[in-house]
Amino acid sequence: MEIVCPAGTPASLRAAVTAGAHTVYCGFADETNARNFPGLNFDRAEMRDGIAFAHDRGTKVLIAINTFPRAGDETPWHRAVADAESCGADAVILADLGLLDHAARNHPRLRRHLSVQAAAANADAVNFYAESFGVKRVVLPRVLSVQEIAAINAETEVETEVFVYGGLCVMAEGRCSLSSYATGRSPNMNGVCSPASHVEYHDENGVLDARLGGYTIHRVQKDEPAPYPTLCKGCFSAGEKTGHLFEDPVSLNAEQLIPQLQKAGVTALKIEGRQRSRSYVAQVVGNFRAAVDALEAGRPMPEGMLARLSEGQAMTTGAYKKTWR
Amino acid sequence: MECPLSHPIPQIPQFPVALAALLRAVPLAPLSVSLTAVSRSIARRHPGLFRRLGPYSQTVFVLDPTDLPLVILLDPNDGVPRVTLARGRGEGAARIAGPLAALLGLVHGAFDGDALFFSRDLVIEGDTSAALALRNAVDDAELDLSLEISRFCGPMKGPLQRVIMLLERHCGVSLTRAAEGAIR
């Protein structure tokens, strides 16, 4: 199985390639990619150099251009697709119907993958994107069970890629606007969920408040793990109840489900975390590469060491096992 | 299905209390001048670091090694940085606080910033966006502070580096750039 690894910077790209990534995904330093964070991403020269570095070592590079263009202002997105092709990308990861159509018409030799931001969650949707825009691979949303993924693969020839590690988005991706209610900015249009410009932490005598757009999303006591102030994982009071309404602050880890995902017909395993450091990339990629190599050699799956890298220092198999609420 | 933390977080080494006490008596101005010279050398050798700061290239950062009796004020100053050591909390737009070993580990790529934040070993206050930009820019620069400092040591460069590596092995603090596979 193919391991698809994140790279937020050229240093992370080199770390991912060195750690054994089959494929790396990254994005340009602008609003065309859904990880438009300060200090991250690639300018055109860095992208060209990064792709050359990866190709020299047999690693593929995918470029995520997976936000939704503004009507009447499509030029940055069109330029990003053209530059991805000229930089030598192995594929682009797109979400928007109009941009997929543009890429298919103007860059037919550039392989197209469907971003998770398109939220294609059934075989009909997957086949529509393949037939209409020549999409070769679909990144499935993190809301499907292994059985549901197997059912989709049984009804399509399109390759499927699923998330196995990292931040757990529990919403219909590409449709979630929760972040914009608190900040005016969303991952879909601006490339940022819980943008750092609206995040504040206040640590008073060890009690940490995590705020987003002025709203306190979490309060944790001394020595409790710190969370990101992400609305879908926030602690809310409703009536007389207080708790995590949608999901706890945890990270996805489906490492032990890799054999089942392989049986379900999945082609590629995606690791989330373009906003994380090269240290994270090296550790997670090395871990998953060892797991996939063990699977292919018929050895037992190695036990992971990734808990301390996880949000809330806790992990979940998310929807894959459907014990998740 | 949630699972508990199955592997403990490695303990971050603390700066020796006795040595920290000695630092209270050390005059900070000459150290500030030396660190400014090192930072400008880094800026010349790693211009991408300051380019990545983007809109925060004139933002003053407070780097607070919580086990030392001083803070480091870093003013990127559009690629001609100034470093000032100060007593007390210092003033800046963003504060990144944690044990010296954690801050050095971040610079050298030995630690993941988010993991240190989750475990409460690192505290971020003030302008989170600026702090994030600095963290990402430093992570991409792949700095080796021992190498950067020893450039100023002329013929003593080799012996100094050997001492640093010995010290690193002895105290478990990341004093050089983490080698692939040695990342924690």
> Which residue of chain A comes nearest to B49, CA vs CA?
A39
- Report the DSSP beta bridge partners of residue A122: none
Give the list of residues 6+ apart from residue A239 with CB closer than 8 angstroms, or none: none
**Would an 8 Å CB–CB cutoff place A41 in contact with chain B?**
no
Give the list of residues 6+ apart from residue A27 with CB closer than 8 angstroms, or none: A33, A34, A35, A36, A41, A42, A63, A64, A65, A66, A274
Task: Mark yes or no for CB contact B3/A315 under 8 Å.
Answer: yes
B31 in helix, strand or coil? helix
Phi, psi of B96 (to 5 degrees): -120, 115
CA distance B89 to B76: 19
Closest alpha carbon to A173 in A318, A6, A9 = A318
CA distance A90 to A61: 6
Closest alpha carbon to B94 in B122, B55, B134 = B134
- Report the DSSP beta bridge partners of residue A64: A93
> Which residue of chain A comes nearest to B119, CA vs CA?
A225
Cα dihedral sign, A322-B1-B7-B10: positive
Burial class (CB in 10 A: 0-12, 13-18, 19+), A80: buried
Q: Domain limits of chain A?
A: 2-168+250-321, 178-244
Query: Would you state the pLDDT for residue A312?
Result: 58
Task: Mark yes or no for CB contact A11/B139 under 8 Å.
Answer: yes
Give the list of residues 6+ apart from residue A184 with CB closer than 8 angstroms, or none: A213
Per-residue pLDDT tens for A5-46?
999 999 999 999 999 999 999 999 999 998 888 999 999 999
Indicate the residue type of A172. A
- Report the DSSP beta bridge partners of residue A94: A65, A114
Indicate the residue type of A229. P
Which helix (H) or strand (E) segment holds residue A217: the answer is strand A215-220
Is ipTM over 0.85? yes
CA distance B33 to B39: 10
CA distance A183 to A194: 7
Cα dihedral sign, B112-B115-B120-B124: positive
Q: Inform me whether the pLDDT recorded for B139 exceeds 60.
A: yes
By percentage, how much of chain A surpasses pLDDT 90? 64
Q: Inform me whether the pLDDT recorded for B3 exceeds 70.
A: no
- What is the rounded average pLDDT of the residues B24-48? 95
Minimum-distance CB partner of A9 among B118, B129, B140: B140
Q: How far is Cα of residue A148 from the mean position of the Cα atoms in its chain?
A: 20
Residue burial A46-55, b: 16+ Cβ < 10 Å; e: rest: bbbbbbebbe
Taken in order of first residue, the domains within chain B and their CATH numbers are 17-143 (3.30.1050.10)
CA distance B65 to B24: 14
Query: Would you state the pLDDT for residue B181?
Result: 45
Residue burial A144-178, b: 16+ Cβ < 10 Å; e: rest: bbbebbbebbeebebbbbbbbbbbbbbbebbebeb
Instruction: Measure the N-to-C terminal CA separation of chain B; round to a whole number of Å.
Output: 26
Secondary structure letter of residue B8 according to DSSP: P
Task: Mark yes or no for CB contact B117/A226 under 8 Å.
Answer: yes
Query: Would you state the pLDDT for residue B184?
Result: 44
The side-by-side arrangement of strands in the sheet containing A215-220 is: A199-204, A207-212, A215-220
CA distance A181 to A179: 5
Alpha helices, DSSP H only, in A222-272? 258-263
CA distance to partner chain A, nearest, from residue B180 (Å):
8
Residue A43: Cβ within 10 Å count: 15
- What is the rounded average pLDDT of the residues A71-76? 94
> Which residue of chain B comes nearest to A17, CA vs CA?
B180
Residue listed under structure tokens 């059985």: A147
Per-residue pLDDT tens for A240-290?
888 887 777 778 888 889 999 999 999 999 999 999 999 999 999 999 999
Task: Mark yes or no for CB contact A40/B5 under 8 Å.
Answer: no
Domain A2-168+250-321 sits in CATH at 3.20.20.70
By percentage, how much of chain A surpasses pLDDT 70? 95
Q: Which two tokens stand for residue B82?
A: 């100034």
CA distance A207 to B82: 33
Q: Which two tokens stand for residue B104?
A: 């050095």
> Which residue of chain A comes nearest to B142, CA vs CA?
A11
Q: How far is Cα of residue A11 from the mean position of the Cα atoms in its chain?
A: 19
**Would an 8 Å CB–CB cutoff place A316 in contact with chain B?**
yes
CA distance A56 to A49: 11
Minimum-distance CB partner of B135 among A39, A222, A286: A39
CA distance A93 to A81: 10
Per-residue pLDDT tens for A113-128?
999 999 999 999 999 9
CA distance A305 to A131: 41
Per-residue pLDDT tens for A126-162?
999 999 999 999 999 988 999 999 999 999 999 999 9
Query: Would you state the pLDDT for residue B107?
Result: 96
